[in-house]
Amino acid sequence: MSAATKASAGRADVLLEVSHDLPLVSLTVATRNGGMFDPPGKEGLTRLCARLMRRTGGGRDPQELDTRVDSIGASVGADVAQSVTLFQGTVIRRSLDAFVEIACDIIGRPGLAEVEFERLRREVLAELVESLDDDRGLARRWFRRKMFEGHPYGRALSGTATSLSAISLDDVRERARALASSEPLFAFSGDIERAEAEALSDRVLGVFSDSKPLSDPTPEPTMAPGRRLVIVDKPERTQTQILIGGLGTHAHDPDHTALLVGNTIFGGTFTARLTDEVRSKRGWSYGAYSSLPFDRRRQAFSMWTFPKADDAAACIELELGMLQALREKGVTKKELTAAKRYLTRSHAFAIDTASKRVGLELEGRLYDLPPGYHAEYTKRVAAVTLDEVNQALQARLPEKELLIVVVGTASEIRSAIEAKIPDLGSTEVVPHDAEA
């Protein structure tokens, strides 16, 4: 095991975490070019493009390429998030050379055949229809759309039926060229040494054309005023999915770590306050959690529960009351001690493999995290004081500006829910099959 190191290989950064425990090598080729750069009206383009690149690398058809990948004992995938696109995979050590050639084919020499493009588009459209059966996914999709309405973070990463239909093969080809001209970062882990990693990254870099840093002009998101209720109306639902939240944290906030610790106490574990009150004491929802994700711009704080329809209004009332109490009264010294112990001990599971360690280093680069964000994590957690946590909770957690999204049958739950939300500013009911 060794600490992740980095070096310059031509124009590319190479991150490396060496481990000879198994004869395996993992490689990620990443760019800071993600789905939020899709042109307006063509949401889903980057995700569609990356999947098509993976399926047609080197001009092969998908079956031929998959057979080639399987024959060398490898796995290869393409992942697209709002801010980044990743091509990644793992291979048996002896097949590393062939694996890198496949990576070059996918990134720099994709066939992007029209017949496969149309087949993939039909598949994605079918996936959108299928996703309507996923109530939790619906809640997340509408929460993001309404939370970040008018901001790139609110746009549908998978696209909509309308936006996917507007995408042409020329759009995909242009997007593939853009991905292959973005400055790449390379992350290797496993049974490989520095010199070989740099040589192989140079080889992949050769398929990138005039790669250059991509600026991110995305503005900081702002929250619409007031408390807003959005009911995603789905017939005959006996259970609901509820997301409540507002703008949360940014990794460069001075109280970022303190807020993470506070969130752990409130809803970050299976024994946290929120779970105890909602699940253990009342039995309303098997799970009840709060989260504070991050990106290059501020993300949302949210609370998630899924009570039956008859309990939805009371559950929302409880959550709003708990959030208010958390802001006003803070947490206790006993809770702080337990949370810090949990976070420092559980961090071991975030760094217990070479691929996880180099992944954290890569994450720091892709999302512009402060220097040492992951490497100094346990030290920062250990240094957090009770006053810092309580001040962060009071300053950062939303109170008057809240979004409440509920997936359920509007005619059965609307009036009861509205009655339990103090200072409710607006209610919007959207059909569950509306484009989000």
Q: What is the pLDDT of residue 136?
A: 97
Where does 20-168 have alpha helices with state H?
Answer: 45-55, 62-71, 96-108, 114-131, 135-147, 161-166
What gap in Å lies between CA 291 and CA 186, rounded to an integer? 29
- The pair of three-digit structure tokens given for residue 357, joined into one six-digit string: 């360690």
Q: What is the pLDDT of residue 74?
A: 98
CA–centroid distance for 400 within its chain: 26
Asked, colleague to colleague, whether 5-205 and 227-431 share their fold, the answer is yes
Contact 230, 240 (CB under 8 A): no
CA 179 → CA 133, 152, 197, distances in Å?
32, 18, 22
Question: If residue 423 lies in a helix (H) or strand (E), which one and from where to where?
Answer: none
Give the architecture-level CATH label for domain 5-205.
2-Layer Sandwich (3.30)
Domain boundaries, the chain: 5-205, 227-431
Length of the chain: 436
Where does 185-302 have alpha helices with state H?
Answer: 194-205, 256-267, 273-275
Give exposure, 244-263, as e/b (b: 16+ Cβ within 10 Å): bbbbbbbbebebbbbbbbbb
Fold (topology level) of 227-431 = Cytochrome Bc1 Complex; Chain A, domain 1 (3.30.830)
Q: What is the pLDDT of residue 8?
A: 41
Q: What is the pLDDT of residue 216?
A: 84
**Tens of each residue's pLDDT in the chain, 436 residues:** 344 444 443 457 899 999 999 999 999 999 999 999 999 999 999 999 999 999 999 999 999 999 999 999 999 999 999 999 999 999 999 999 999 999 999 999 999 999 999 999 999 999 999 999 999 999 999 999 999 999 999 999 999 999 999 999 999 999 999 999 999 999 999 999 999 999 999 999 999 987 777 788 899 999 999 999 999 999 999 999 999 999 999 999 999 999 999 999 999 999 999 999 999 999 999 999 999 999 999 999 999 999 999 999 999 999 999 999 999 999 999 999 999 999 999 999 999 999 999 999 999 999 999 999 999 999 999 999 999 999 999 999 998 999 999 999 999 999 999 999 999 999 999 999 999 8
Q: Which residues, in sequence order, are bridge partners of residue 76?
A: 89
CA 226 → CA 264, 395, 396, 430, distances in Å?
26, 17, 16, 19
Q: Among residues 342, 332, 320, 304, which one has the least CA distance to residue 389?
A: 332
Q: What is the pLDDT of residue 3?
A: 42
CA dihedral 380, 386, 387, 393 (to 10 degrees): 80
- The pair of three-digit structure tokens given for residue 292, joined into one six-digit string: 């504070």
Q: What is the pLDDT of residue 9?
A: 39
Q: What is the pLDDT of residue 165?
A: 97
CA dihedral 333, 339, 342, 345 (to 10 degrees): -80
Q: What is the pLDDT of residue 436?
A: 85
